[in-house]
Amino acid sequence: LVTGGTQGIGRAVARELTDLGARVAVVARAEPDTPPPAPLSRADLSDPAQARDAVARAVELLGGLEILVNNVGTNVRHTSVGY
């Protein structure tokens, strides 16, 4: 299961795992501009209920989980004084 797997590093990890023969599921908040490299579940993982549902969907799709790539995150920008 690759979180944040529709762009950037998460997308590259999901693609590489798929290319290596792994069965992969991707979780992201928003629909990507281009198709993800693996089946997508949309969820806001900051919401515990949505996170549980995303994991349950991945377990159902894949028959279990062996790897979690926790790539989800945000980039909150502040002025240097704001930190």
Question: Which contiguous run of DSSP H or E holds residue 8?
Answer: helix 8-19
pLDDT score of 83: 54
Query: What digits encode the pLDDT tens for the residues 43-59?
Result: 999 899 999 999 999 99
Query: How many CA within 13 A on the CB side of residue 70?
Result: 3
> Is the pLDDT higher at 80 or at 31?
31
Short-list 69, 21, 18, CA closest to 39: 18
Q: Which residues pair with 42 in a beta bridge?
A: 28
40-45: long-range contacts (C-beta < 8 A, 24 or more apart)?
A: 40/5, 40/6, 45/3, 45/72
pTM (two decimals)? 0.83
Query: What digits encode the pLDDT tens for the residues 14-43?
Result: 999 999 999 999 999 988 888 888 989 999
The mean predicted confidence, pLDDT, of the chain is: 90
